[in-house]
Each structure stands twice: as C-alpha cells, then as structure tokens.
C-alpha cells in the first residue's frame, strides 16, 4: 500500500492546523505508515483534491482539519468505495466526536490506522451533503458571524457569537413539513441533526446517531431576549428539549418555508445565499468512515 493521502487545511483551527504537519507525519511514522500531505489553499480545494484522489483509486482519503474540512472532503466520497479518514484539527470537530475519534492527534492517527470501517448516513440540502448538522435561523446566523469575524476563535468564540445573536436575532414565521407532520409558528432555529453536537459542543440532539437512518429535527420556539439567556445554557446538554417551546421530530425528509431568507449552515459551512425555502433529506449508509 502506498502513502496515505491526507488533505490538510492549514486554515483550520483558526490557522493552527497548518503548523501541525510535522506532528502528523511523526504520528504516522510511529505507526510504521507513510503519508502524503496535500495542503489546501482556499475554499472548495479539498473537494477537488478528494475527487482527484478517488479517480486515482485511493482506498482512503483523510481530512485533516475541522468539520468544514471533513465536509468538503466528504462531498467527493459520498457514494464511492473510498473511505473517509479524519484527523480532528479544527475548532469544533463535532462529527469526529460523534464517531468516537479521539481529539488528541496521535490517538486519532492510531484510530485511523487500526479502526474499522463504518457506513454512515448523510444529509442533503440544496445539492450539498452534510455529515453532522444543518442549522437554519439563529444557528445559520451564528455560523455566519463566526466565519466573518476573525477575532472569534475556538469554542469560546462560537459561544460569544451565540450570545450576541441571542440578544439580537429576530424570530421568523415558518412552516415545517416532515413526513406528513406539520408545524406552523414562530421559531428561532431549525436544526436537522445527523449527530448530537453542533457549534463545538452544543448538544442539540442528544439521541442522534450518524447511522440510525433518521434525522433528528429540532425546532426551537421564540423566547423574549432576556429569557433566551436562560435557555442558552440548556442547549449545551440538550435539556432545552424539555422546554414547552422546543420540539424534536425524527424524520427522513423535511421541508422548511420561512417568511424571510435566512442563513443556513451545513457542518458550519454556509450555503452561498440565504434561503427561505429549504428541502432536506437523509441518504442512508452512503459514506464509509474509518473510526
């Protein structure tokens, strides 16, 4: 077997991932494995590299970065025989956590080298795949803030962006249809979850599993701004779902129609434009992951 191809996003972890290339090589050298590292230079390049590696017959392609990097690489691997490997070097790493991949680099390399393959479900919206979380409304706005304000770093930065939007975000009227069930009312957020966590550890769907054949659809209703500060900590452990204005549905498909265009994120990556009409569906067991 030739060197393991690793697609490294040097911008992940707010720029810290690029400095860890020697550490990556050393971790695999200790395991007796050679690697070939491909550094990305901008958005979308990880997908292009992964497509090229798949075409060359790569058995595994490793994403080294955060959830956004994993998302980009996965765009090329869904529905193929190429296995996705993950080295979690980003700010959140929510999908890696859902897959039980250790946060420590050497342990993650060992899990990649000695772990087993698992088939996982993938969400799809607006022609793009996601592995872990889709957020529309305040979730999408927070992701937009985090990506556009470079002083926001890591989990603390995401929390600051969250508090900011909690105090300013306007609720939106919405209709949600999910396999014959219908909801209409004012919401702060719609989250279609394939894994439990989003935003670096916010537990929006405690029972979600990436291979259970269902999306966990979380709907968070409107609360006055000061009350939201009480609700916010409850999203860390999932206890917000016990509130009267929160709902959780399990579904394979969902359609959301909002009164105004809203930011939508898929694994932290924003759709190119705000949308008011969104269809989301689950594709079962279409991606192979080494974990």
- 130-284: what fold? Tumour Suppressor Smad4 (2.60.200)
Query: Per-block average pLDDT, block size 10, for the chain (291 residues)?
Result: 93 92 98 98 96 97 97 98 97 94 97 96 98 97 83 70 91 96 97 94 96 98 95 95 97 98 96 97 98 90
Q: What's the confidence (pLDDT) of residue 151?
A: 65
Q: What's the confidence (pLDDT) of residue 153?
A: 64
The rounded radius of gyration (Å) of the Cα atoms in the chain is 19
Q: What is the dihedral of CA 78, 80, 85, 89, to 10 degrees?
A: -30
Residue 229, φ and ψ in degrees, nearest 5: -65, -25
Q: For residue 88, what are the CA distances in angstroms to 92, 202, 213, 232, 248?
A: 9, 17, 25, 26, 29
Q: What's the confidence (pLDDT) of residue 1?
A: 63
**CATH 3.40.50.10330 domain span(s) along the chain:** 4-115
C-alpha 127/C-alpha 94 separation (Å) is 22
Query: Among candidates 74, 73, 61, which has minimal Cα distance to 35?
Result: 61
C-alpha 289/C-alpha 249 separation (Å) is 26
C-alpha 54/C-alpha 59 separation (Å) is 8
**CATH 2.60.200.40 domain span(s) along the chain:** 130-284
Q: What's the confidence (pLDDT) of residue 91?
A: 84
Does 269 qualify as catalytic in the annotation? yes
Give strand ranges (E) for 167-245.
Answer: 172-178, 181-193, 197-198, 202-203, 215-221
Pick the CATH number of 4-115 from 3.40.50.620, 1.10.150.20, 3.40.50.10330, 2.60.290.11: 3.40.50.10330
CA–CA–CA angle 167, 171, 177 (5° rounding):
140
Beta bridge pairs of residue 198: 202
Q: What's the confidence (pLDDT) of residue 157?
A: 73
C-alpha 212/C-alpha 224 separation (Å) is 35
pTM, entire model: 0.94
C-alpha 290/C-alpha 85 separation (Å) is 5
CB-based contact 62:7 (threshold 8 Å): yes
Residue 268, φ and ψ in degrees, nearest 5: 85, -10
CB-based contact 254:176 (threshold 8 Å): yes
Which of these is catalytic: 72, 124, 165, 269?
Answer: 269
Burial of 15 per CB tally in 10 Å (0-12, 13-18, 19+): exposed
């Amino acid at each position: 077997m030739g060197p393991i191809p690793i697609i490294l996003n040097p911008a992940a972890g707010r720029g810290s991932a690029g400095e860890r290339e020697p550490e990556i090589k050393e971790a695999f050298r200790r395991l007796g494995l050679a690697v070939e590292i491909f550094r990305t230079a901008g958005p979308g390049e990880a997908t292009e590299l992964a497509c090229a590696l798949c075409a060359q017959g790569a058995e595994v392609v490793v994403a080294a970065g955060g959830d956004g990097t994993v998302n980009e690489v996965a765009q090329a691997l869904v529905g193929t025989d190429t296995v996705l490997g993950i080295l979690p070097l980003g700010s959140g790493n929510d999908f890696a956590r859902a897959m039980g991949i250790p946060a420590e680099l050497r342990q993650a390399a060992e899990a990649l080298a000695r772990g087993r393959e698992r088939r996982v479900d993938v969400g799809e919206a607006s022609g793009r795949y996601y592995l872990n979380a889709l957020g529309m409304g305040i979730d999408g706005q927070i992701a937009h803030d985090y990506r556009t304000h470079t002083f926001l770093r890591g989990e603390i930065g995401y929390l600051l962006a969250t508090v900011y939007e909690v105090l300013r975000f306007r609720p939106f009227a919405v209709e949600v249809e999910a396999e014959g069930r219908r909801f209409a009312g004012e919401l702060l957020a719609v989250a279609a979850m394939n894994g439990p966590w989003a935003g670096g550890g916010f537990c929006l769907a405690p029972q979600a599993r990436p291979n259970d054949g269902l999306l966990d659809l979380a709907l968070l209703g409107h609360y006055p701004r000061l009350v939201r500060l009480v609700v916010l900590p409850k999203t860390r452990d999932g206890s917000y779902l016990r509130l009267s204005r929160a709902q959780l549905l399990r579904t394979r498909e969902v359609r959301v129609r909002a009164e105004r265009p809203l930011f939508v994120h898929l694994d932290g990556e924003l759709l190119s434009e705000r949308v008011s009409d969104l269809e989301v569906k689950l594709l079962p067991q279409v991606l192979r992951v080494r974990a």
